[in-house]
Structure 1
Amino acid sequence: MKNRLLVFVGATLLVTGFFAFKEKNDKLFALAKNIDIFATLVRELDSYYVDDVDPDELVTIGINAMLEELDPYTEYIPEEESADFRMLTTGEYAGIGALIGGRGEGNIIIMPYTGFPAQNSGLKIADQLLLVDTVDVTKKSTSDVSDLLKGPANTPVYLKVKRDQDTLEFNLMRKKIFLKNVPYYGKLDDKTGYIKLSDFTTNASNEVRNALVDLKSQGIEKLVFDLRDNPGGLVNEAIEIVNLFIPKGKEVVKTIGKLENVNFTYKTTKTPVDKDIPMVVLINERSASASEIVAGSLQDYDRAVLIGRKSFGKGLVQTTIPLTYNAQMKVTTAKYYIPSGRCIQAIDYAQSRENGEIVSVPDSLRKEFKTSNGRIVLDGAGIEPDEEVESKRYAPITYSLVARNHVFDFATEYFYRHPSISDPRSFKISNQDYDEFVAWLDGKEYDYTTYLEKSMDELKENAEKAPYYDEIKDQIEALEKRVHHSKEQDLVTYADEVRKVISEEIVSRYYFQEGMVEASLNDDSDVKAAVEVLNAPSKVTQILTASSK
């Protein structure tokens, strides 16, 4: 009997192994066959197609189209784009240290980064680039101009720029540029610190650590940690940042995928800087990936109150794989699972491919998990805040003035008329300044459609299809006249809002990126909500305990 059992088990294993081997071989054969067909097709196209074709371009288009069928994060990186990809992941490159952008018929300096060659040499926001070395760049694309400005560290670059009516020349030396992950930190009041983290590139955790230690030396007893609009980045930096606030040996995130070598549990390895300081973490719909790991882990350990809006929901892990000829592929290899066991991924890309449309996890299929204190949290839709604050909605006139660069241009003119301003937190344009702005707008195009006018247009369009339209036509037209906006009146109605964006833009001319972040904290509803919560210790306790659910 025993021998028969052994024979049966052996035969079963042999059959299972055979089918597994056959399935694997079939897949390998299908892969080899299709690669051969693709190579043959490109070769014959190059030979027979009536016009000349570029094989590099054709193959790149084919690869990108294939990867688009998977998810937005799996992408092909040809050799010529490797430097840009490295800059995105490390925050490092060699150049002049300035953000440039297209404007009208050319490119201008949008923001010189503090402490780097562009700022040190005296380049200003709104300077229009005319020449880079001997190359006329007035009609070149932003990416082409950016490539010309970059180069090996410690190499010279000559710039000719137009500033208002003047033409200026600059001789700069390219330097290694390290983009800041923490563009600003400071005190909101005597006892409350604030740290803004904008990225998770190399050194992010050290920047947060240094900011936290400095703020503690200034006597803070509470902290607002701002992860809004942070798209994420390096997972190891996220682990180190969580470790600043929770003890050694705690799980922060797991990665689980198809291959064993991508399955890993990340734990804290160091003594925290402060495991008790009351904290609020700010998140919004553009907080993604590593931001969600940090916010979600701190929520799962009931270490911080989360305030803002539901995060993006990116729980997919990417691995960069080298290809031949110095190309690379960034490919999704696993999913993130934070300490409670939940996955934060919001979109099911496998189902989306089958259905031909974006498929999110329905509320009915979201699973419940529990934090350390027993609070219920859900998977499948990013990180949900403990306290939700409505998103700021700007008036159409404000969008129009910003989009048409009127705010930008007025701030530039203001800068050249005023040698200095007060500090970023206290600066606001005066009533006289605002009146000058309104007068300055005279003759400039900034028309727009209000929300009410859009609704009115839809109402009129539907009414015109009705058989009784003639009976209500006069009423519709009278209503249309009543809702038609007045630009001049909107400049009065939304004056406070417009003044705020003008003030922040002006601050950037004097205090650059850091000042712009600091100025934006004025009247920030999320920050106000955070300070209110932190000033009520009993509310913090209530939010972070299961009884609050």
Structure 2
Amino acid sequence: MMQRAREKRGLLIFVSAALILFTGAVMAHRLPFQNESYEDLKIFTEVLSYVEANYVQEVEPEKLLHGAIRGMLRTLDTHSSFMPQDVYREMQVETEGRFGGLGIEITIRDEILTVVSPIEGTPAFRAGIQAGDKIVTVEGESTKDMSLIEAVKQLRGPIDTSVTIGVMREGFTEPKDFTLTRAIIQIKSVRSKVLPDSIGYIRLRSFHKSTSEELDDALHDFDERNVSALVLDLRNNPGGLLEQAIAVTDEFIEGGQLIVYTKGRLANQNMKGFSKTQGSHPDVPLVILVNGGSASASEIVAGALQDLKRATIIGTKTFGKGSVQTIIPLSDGSGLRLTTAKYYTPNGRMIHEKGIIPDIVVEEPKPEPVDGESAATPPRRSRTGLPEDDLSGDPQLQKAVETLKAEVKQNKKKAAKAG
């Protein structure tokens, strides 16, 4: 036992000393901070050594080091995190459009685990989970001080197994438990329908690898059906791939226009995304619907088309998730998710924690109290995710249709006058 303890202590001191040497090398170009950083790391090494040698019970060196890394990243922001090997291996699964889980996009807001948006047709959606819900417990365990990566790991699990989450939302006097059964989440990004008055409705549920292709198919179908105007519904769309946000925006603007840019500390984090070619529909009247569940890639699309005066934005303020996370593989097979830049709209508006303010604010109707799956679907859409022909239950979509009808009428007058 004593020999094992000495070996562990030796390993821990070696790792800490190596960390000091490595950091000293990295900091060599920042001389004013080098001595201070060296002293801080000496203290870090002392604490690790004392804990390993004197704590009431043995602690694995890896557990101590991983805990120190998590604590360090937690002081930065809610999106920077350490990913153990198993989490890192599964990290990119969502972008493929098929994964196991509950069907919710989550973040940490005001130090509370918060639902960005449920994905339509998933266990979370059917159970009535809503954008803005605060997840305060998972299987009875408090989520206070739980990192985003840790939360995702707890919520995921084998298919057909269940997990109980405690939810607080506006109007609740105490947390309410929701027991959800995990399932394969297979996402079709685009749903479409032709509304009365030849107005095309496109619902973008997420931004995955196939989103722009699915959008092309929907737009081609609308062309064959002589659609005169478009509604792009990004409500409760939690985002996804940046390249897909750029590709979607590209469909509706002229070539060579700035869509989004990022700014970070390093030059290689400063990126500009432009439209590549003439969009397939650069002139069709367009309204975009957003709400508090529209985040990330959704906000990039809405912000760009608003700045370029290409679309009218209707709904409520978006979520405000506009930071860039770079994934960095580490030598032991784990990974680091580090915030390295922030997104800006073409006119220089920062998205992060600001959100996109609609041109026309229209509040959503308050959902009915949830009591099982029967009341889970929001009143504005059917269970297919598409609106009914009667739009009376969806004031935001109603306003979008009214706005487009007025714009089409005005365009016809202008064309007649010019002719």
Matches within 5 A, 1:12-31: 24-31=30-37
**Cα distance, 1:243 vs structure 2:** 0.5
Find the aligned partners of 2:397 and 2:66 in 1 and give their Cα distance: 45
8 Å contact from structure 2 (residues 203, 234) kept in 1 = yes
In structure 2, the residue matched to 1:218 is 225
Look up the SS of the partner of 1:313 in the other structure: coil
| 1:87-486 aligned within 5 A | 87-93=93-99, 146-149=156-159, 179-182=187-190, 184-346=191-353, 381-394=354-367, 398-399=368-369, 402=370, 404-405=371-372, 408=373, 411=374
Distance 1:187 1:56, change over 3 A: farther
CA distance in 1, matches of 2:82, 2:161: 36
Are 1:533 and 1:539, in contact at CA under 8 Å, matched by a contact in 2? no
Asked if structure 1 preserves the Cα contact closer than 8 Å seen for 2:380 and 2:393, the reply is no
Contact kept in structure 2, 1:533 and 1:540, CA below 8 Å: no
Q: Give the letter aligned to residue 264 of structure 1.
A: M
Deviation (angstroms), 1:215: 2.3
CA contact (8 A) 1:253 1:339 kept: yes
Are positions 1:49 and 2:55 aligned together?
A: yes
CA distance in 1, matches of 2:410, 2:64: 57
Cα distance per residue 1:399-431 (max 9 Å; x no partner): 2xx1x42xx2xx4xxxxxxxxxxxxxxxxxxxx
Please state how far the C-alpha of 1:534 moved relative to its aligned partner: 0.7
Q: In structure 1, what is the Cα distance between the partners aligned to 2:345 and 2:52?
A: 50
CA drift at 1:43: 4.4
Distance 1:522 1:86, change over 3 A: farther
Q: What is the CA-CA distance between 1:264 and the residue it aligns to?
A: 1.8
1:16-35 Cα deviation digits (max 9, x unpaired): xxxxx987034345445544
Q: Is this contact kept in 2: 1:229–1:286, CA < 8 A?
A: yes
Structure having the higher helix fraction is 1
Identity among equivalent positions (%) equals 35
* Number of equivalent positions: 328
Instruction: Report the equivalent of 2:72.
Output: 66
Q: Contact between 2:229 and 2:408, CA under 8 Å: does it hold in 1? A: no
Q: 1:211 to 1:340 in 2, by over 3 A?
A: same
- CA shift digits 1:343-374 (9 cap, x unpaired): 2333xxxxxxxxxxxxxxxxxxxxxxxxxxxx
Is residue 190–residue 219 contact of structure 1 (8 Å, CA) maintained in 2?
no
Aligned to 1:531: 401
Q: What is the deviation of 1:238? A: 1.0
Give SS of 1:391's match: coil
The higher radius of gyration belongs to 1
The structure whose RCO (Cα within 8 Å, separation 6+) is larger is 2
User: TM-score, normalization: structure 1?
Assistant: 0.52
Change (3 A) 1:111 1:235: closer
Q: 2:136 matched to which residue of 1? A: none
Find the residue that maps to 2:256 and give its secondary structure. coil
| Shift in alpha-carbon separation, 1:57–1:524, aligned structure 2, 3 A | farther
Q: How far 1:503 sits from its partner (Å)?
A: 8.4
| 1:353 aligned partner | none
Looking at structure 2, the residues matched to 145 and 295 of structure 1 have their Cα atoms a distance apart, in angstroms, of 30
Does the 8 Å contact 1:316/1:335 carry over to 2? Answer: yes
